[in-house]
Chains A and B, each alone.
Chain A
Amino acid sequence: MYQYTDFDEAFVRTRVAQFRGQVERRIDGSLTEDEFKPLRLMNGLYLQLHAYMLRVAIPYGTINPGQMRQLAMIAERWDRGYGHFTTRQNIQFNWPKLKDVPDILDALADVQMHAIQTSGNTIRNVTADHFAGAAADEIEDPRPYAELLRQWSTDHPEFQFLPRKFKIAVTGSPNDRAVTKSHDIGLRMVRNAAGTPGFEVIVGGGLGRTPMIGKVVRDFLPVEDLLPYCEAIVSVWNLLGRRDNKYKARIKITVHEHGIEEISRLVEERFATLKAAFGGADQALLANIRAAFAPPVFAERPTDGFEAARLANPAFAAWADVNLAPHKAPGHAIVTISLKKHGATPGDATADQMRAMADLAERYGYGELRISHEQNVILPHVHKADLPEVYARLRAADLATANVGLVSDIIACPGMDYCALATARSIPIAQEIAERFEALKIEHEVGPLKIKISGCINACGHHHVGHIGILGLDRAGVENYQVTLGGDHTEDAVVGEKTGPGFSADEITGAIERIVFAYLDLREGPEETFLQAYRRVGMQPFKAALYEKDRADAA
């Protein structure tokens, strides 16, 4: 993976030293909160419901074992012994003390990590396909481009005071696992007629209170034009974007207001100027970055042990069926480690679990780990012969839950258990739904189904693009949960449709259960997924199942 240059190292260390001084001045009273707040947000430090929260960037979700162990150390030394992996491939610490934060940032800098631009009106951590560099369907590893974007966007002088935050996602596969259509800029790798890889550039996607599916602004962008083209998009928006109303400031609104044709015209015009100005310096940089992402030399050996273990151990077979994905190298698999044990908090890992995953990556995974936007951890390269041992060690670390992509593999934002913006809780709802389906023992029968929960309209839990989305609201001082169906986060992205009136915290799990049973009743067979069935039959049968009890009670 990418190693910091002297320049990167000096930049991060200087920023930590600056922030140390700013924290000291805040504590001794020479800075007011109004003065300090923008400074702390530039360094990922929020003040939440019960404590400060530090959001640490995991650029494009790639992390090495040494970094993972350092996160474990930080969790134990300055927090409560765990960390929370987020839907933006970041990790959040929920309980740091203000005076300790500079020390935490120094400890992060020791392993080439930081919290810069994880907040504020800047270009945020660039996210990527969590199977990058490993997926069988991949055209090219998107991470060199993501790293190039990170270097370009970090402290970019033109883009430190944007109208609002700005999020970029990159995927190197036509099958989009990075939710590119819900980002301010989505980059999806495709090939042109000549077979050359390039990017389909999508702009103006976003969730939140005004969900929008991104629009294609350029069908095929040669990879060498990436930076000037992205700079053109951000700079056009920086001038046009509405600073009068924060709810209308995101580029999705700008695209909606001006139309994709006009935005495209302005971007192409700006791009023509910028392309000349870049003068190829970015390409020299990209060549160096590419070398840092060279794939490991994949071992070639028999996979017999894997097949034998599958036959001998049904629990291992069940795990292998759902937690493995096809790898590009023969004899290898991509392992998704579920952080969604039934009844646990989605995305949380204890310090011990972080160390166990670091050990596994080092011993069986070519030293690589990834964080997914679905709040799981990935071992991208594992030889199949090692899978039985990996599974056994995951079990020992309480990390062997076989539920990836199933009902209980729920995305949930921190919600009102932590977040100052939340209008309702998310975590207890996710816990209860997962436990209910575990008790029913039907999630493997139900098959692929993505439930996504947000505790407010800002949609950190991606509820709009969940097959089943749940949005927690405050209705007259009571938590209320609104359900959407048919959302899709892939290259065919769709915003889900509201079912009707919401449900109380006591009712929501039962409501989800009725939806799932309705699906089992109406599907044409086990091969028809929930989403396919929904697209075939529409909302009505699910609505009937959801509200029939209410009607019976009223009758």
Chain B
Amino acid sequence: MSRQFTPKVVTANALLEGDAVWLTEDDRWTRDIAEAELIEDEAHAQIRLIDAQSRKAEVVGAYLADAKAGTAGPEPVHFREAFRTRGPSNYAHGKQEHASRP
């Protein structure tokens, strides 16, 4: 029996900047995970991943990451994915520099 599917987002690194991006429902790459499409269905997740991986001139290394519904939109589940939404902990560099939300 296969494991129960948990909600996912499609994420990757942007080709030019290298920073973390997430795929939105309307096929944009966003820098804010809250704007990402939260995928609840496994078959749909696989199709969205194939779509993402075909966009070779925009992103690198697309994959499905666990996510959960939050008040403002999808939120990361694993700490690695949480770090990708912020940046490093030793300097206020990366996404946290421009974050409008806490």
A-B interaction: yes
A243 at interface, CB cutoff 8 A: no
Q: Is B20 an interface residue (CB 8 A)?
A: yes
Q: Is A97 an interface residue (CB 8 A)?
A: yes
Bound form: Cα–Cα A200–B80 in Å: 43
Chain B nearest CB from A214 CB (Å) reads: 33
CA distance A428 to B88 in the complex (A): 10
A50 with B90, Cβ < 8 A, contacts A416-B80, A477-B79, A479-B79 known: no
State the Cβ distance, B59 to closest chain A Cβ, in Å: 9
Binds A, one of B1-9, B11-19, B33-41, B67-75: B11-19
Tell me if A418 is interfacial: C-beta within 8 Å of chain B: yes
- Indicate whether B98 reaches chain A with its CB closer than 8 angstroms: no
Q: Which among B60, B77, B88, B95 has the greatest number of chain A C-beta atoms within 10 A?
A: B88
Q: Which of A423-464 contact B (CB under 8 A)?
A: 425, 427-428, 431
Task: Find out whether the CB atom of B16 lies under 8 angstroms from the CB atom of A425.
Answer: no
Please indicate the chain A residues that have their CB under 8 angstroms from the CB of B77 in the complex. Answer: 477
Q: Do the beta carbons of B90 and A417 come within 8 Å of each other?
A: yes
A427 to B87, CA, bound (A): 13
Query: Considering only CB atoms, which chain A residue lies closest to B93 in the complex?
Result: A80
Contact A50 B84 (CB under 8 A): yes
Interface size on A, residues (CB 8 A): 31
Contacts of B90 in A (CB 8 A): 345, 348, 417, 427-428, 431
Q: A97-B17, A97-B18 are in contact. Are A50 and B87 (CB under 8 A)?
A: yes
Whether A49 touches B20, Cβ cut-off 8 Å, given contacts A27-B15, A32-B56, is yes
Of the candidates A95, A416, A478, which one forms a contact with B83 in the assembled complex, judged by CB atoms under 8 Å apart? A416
| Contact call A51/B78, Cβ cutoff below 8 A | no
Chain A residues with Cβ below 8 Å from B56 are 29, 32-33
Provide the bound-state CA to CA distance between A80 and B95, in Å.
14
**CB distance A47 to B79 under 8 Å?**
no
- Asked whether any CB of chain B lies closer than 8 Å to the CB of A52, the reply is yes
With A and B bound together, what is the CA distance between A235 and B101 in angstroms?
A: 56
Complex Cα spacing A48 to B91, Å: 16
Q: Which residues of A contact B87 (CB under 8 A)?
A: 50
| Interface 0/1 of B10-51, CB less than 8 Å to A | 000101111110000000000000000000000000000000
A27 to B59, CA, bound (A): 10
Given contacts A80-B91, A417-B90, contact A33 B18 (CB under 8 A): no
CA distance A348 to B91 in the complex (A): 11
Q: Is the CB of B18 within 8 A of A27?
A: no
A425 touches B89 (CB 8 A): yes
Contact B17 A49 (CB under 8 A): no
Q: How far is the CA of A51 from the CA of B91 in the complex (A)?
A: 14
**Chain B CB within 10 A, most for which of A27, A47, A49, A95:** A49
Q: Interface code A86-120, partner B: CB below 8 Å = 1, 0 otherwise?
A: 00000000110111000000000000000000000
Q: Contacts of B18 on A, CB cut-off 8 Å?
A: 47-48, 50-52, 97-98
Neighbouring A residues of B19 by C-beta, 8 Å: 50-51
Residue of A nearest to B94 (CB): A50
Chain A's closest residue to B97 (CB) is: A80
**Interchain CA distance A32-B94 in the complex, whole Å:** 26
Closest to B87 in A: A50
Q: Tell me the bound Cα distance from A515 to B15 in angstroms.
A: 46
Chain B hits for A477, CB < 8 A: 77-79
**Which residue of A has the minimal Cβ distance to B58?**
A29
CB-CB under 8 A from B15, the residues of chain A are: 26-27, 98
Of the residues B20, B61, B78, B83, contact of A417 by C-beta under 8 Å = B83
Knowing A50-B84, A98-B15 touch, does A29 contact B57 (C-beta < 8 A)?
yes
Residues of B within 8 A of A49 (CB): 20, 80, 83-84
**Which residue of chain B is the closest to A344 with respect to CB atoms?**
B90
Q: Evaluate whether A417 and B88 lie within 8 angstroms (CB atoms) in the complex, with A32-B56, A33-B56 already known.
A: yes
Residues of A within 8 A of B88 (CB): 50, 94, 417-418, 427
Taking the closest CB of chain A, its distance from the CB of B3, in whole angstroms, is 15
- Report A35-64 CB contacts with B as 1/0, cut-off 8 Å: 000000000000111111000000000000
Partner of B94, one of A27, A51, A427, A428: A51
CA distance A47 to B88 in the complex (A): 15
- A180 and B89 CA atoms in complex are apart in Å by 33
Query: Are B16 and A27 within 8 A (Cβ)?
Result: yes
Structural contact, B16 and A47, CB atoms closer than 8 A: no
- In the complex, are the beta carbons of B94 and A33 less than 8 A apart? no
In Å, the complex CA distance between A313 and B95 comes to 45
Query: Nearest chain-A residue to B78 (Cβ)?
Result: A477
Provide the bound-state CA to CA distance between A478 and B77, in Å: 11
A51 touches B57 (CB 8 A): no
Q: How far is the CA of A345 from the CA of B100 in the complex (A)?
A: 26
A residues within 8 A CB of B93?
50, 80, 94-95
**Docked pose: A474 CA to B18 CA in angstroms:** 24
Min C-beta distance of B95 to chain A, whole Å? 8
Q: List 13 contacting pairs A-B, 8 Å CB cutoff, sorted by A.
A: A27-B15, A33-B60, A47-B60, A50-B18, A50-B19, A95-B93, A98-B15, A345-B91, A348-B90, A416-B79, A416-B83, A427-B90, A477-B78
A-B pairs with the 7 shortest C-beta distances? A417-B88, A29-B57, A52-B18, A51-B18, A50-B94, A345-B90, A427-B90
Question: Which residues of B come within 8 Å of A, CB atoms?
Answer: 13, 15-20, 56-57, 60-61, 77-80, 83-84, 87-91, 93-95
Task: Given contacts A27-B57, A416-B83, A477-B78, list 4 more A-B pairs with CB under 8 A.
Answer: A32-B56, A80-B93, A94-B93, A97-B16
